[in-house]
Amino acid sequence: MDIKEIIFWSLSTIAFITAIYTVIAKNPIFSAISLLVCFASIAGHYLLLNAQFLFIVHIIVYAGAIMVLFLTTLMLMNLNEETEKHKPAIAQIAALVIAVALGIVLMLAVRKANVILTMGPMTDSIGDVKSLGTVLLSEYFYPFEFISVLLLSAMVGVVLLMKKDKTAALK
């Protein structure tokens, strides 16, 4: 086996196991940590595909910032009480059936897929930060600027939903 293949299979195994553990873990903190490991192994996949920017984003934003948010959210809740009720068995079975069906459909579709036809030649520069930056700031500059609207909207939302009302405090 090629070294790349070995890395691929070990990363996939880790990602798979940790993803399942995220769902089934009883303790939410374990769930979050396992998700963190899952993110890290997916970031490794990005690196294998030479998508450096995605790798960096995944580590900094997802594994770094979003996970901090998840953990903070867990701290906001009262973890001592076991308040979460288990879903009825029928819902669990239905979810399982749908997930398995989706998985089978995707696998069959991907097996039959013939994807590389329309792509350009595969070179080392595909997916690296430099070529991504060129595309982002030339062809995709409008969506890029539009993202700032998305971020601003989220900012206003955070302040709107979380900041204590000054007038209410005065009354």
Partner 1 sequence: METPQSSYIPIIIQAVFAAGFVATMLGLSHLVGPKRKSQIKDENFECGIKSYGNARIPFSVKYFLIAILFVLFDVEVIFLYPWAVNFKVLGIIGLYKMLLFMGLLLVGFFYIIKKGALEWE
Partner 2 sequence: MRALTYTSFLGIACLVLEIFNLRKIVVPVVVIALLAILGINFTEWNGSSVSFYNDMLRADNFALAFTGLLIVTAAGLVAMSGSFYDTEETKLADYISVIVFTLCGGIALVSFSNMAMLFIGLEVLSISLYILAGSKRRDIRSNEAAMKYFLMGSFASGILLFGITLVYGATGSFNLAQIALYASGPGVDPIFVVGVIMILIAMLFKVSAVPFHFWAPDVYEGSPSLTTAMMATLSKVAAMAAFYRLFSVSFVNNFSGFAWILSVVAALTMLVGNLTALNQDSFKRMLAFSGIAHAGYMLLAIMSLYQNTANALFFYTVAYTFASLGAFAIGISVMKRRKSEKIEAFNGLGKSNPFQAVALTVFMLSMAGIPPLAGFFAKYYVFFEAIKTQHLAVVIVAVITSAISVYYYFKLILAMWTKDSEETDAPAGAISYIAIAAICLIVTLALGILPSLVPSINQVASK
Site residues (CB under 8 A) for partner 1? 4, 47-48, 50, 52-53, 56-57, 60-61, 64-66, 68-69, 72-73, 75-80, 123-125, 128-130, 132-134, 136-138, 141, 144-145, 147-149, 151-152, 154-156, 158-159, 162-164, 166
Q: Which is nearer to partner 2, 89 or 120 (CB)?
A: 120
Q: Per rule CB under 8 A, is residue 76 in the interface with partner 2? A: no
Give Dmax (Cα) for the chain: 72
Q: Which is nearer to partner 1, 111 or 164 (CB)?
A: 164
Name which of 46, 47, 39, 41 is nearest 63 in CA terms.
39
For tokens 């069959």, the residue is 108
Q: Per rule CB under 8 A, is residue 157 in the interface with partner 2? A: yes
Site string for partner 2, 127-156 (x = CB under 8 A): -----------xxxxxx--xx-xx-xxx-x
Q: Per rule CB under 8 A, is residue 23 in the interface with partner 2? A: no
The beta-carbon contacts of 10-19 under 8 Å, at least 24 apart in sequence, are 11/41, 11/42, 11/44, 11/45, 11/48, 12/41, 12/45, 14/38, 14/41, 15/41, 15/42, 15/45
Query: How far is CA 124 from its chain centroid?
Result: 25
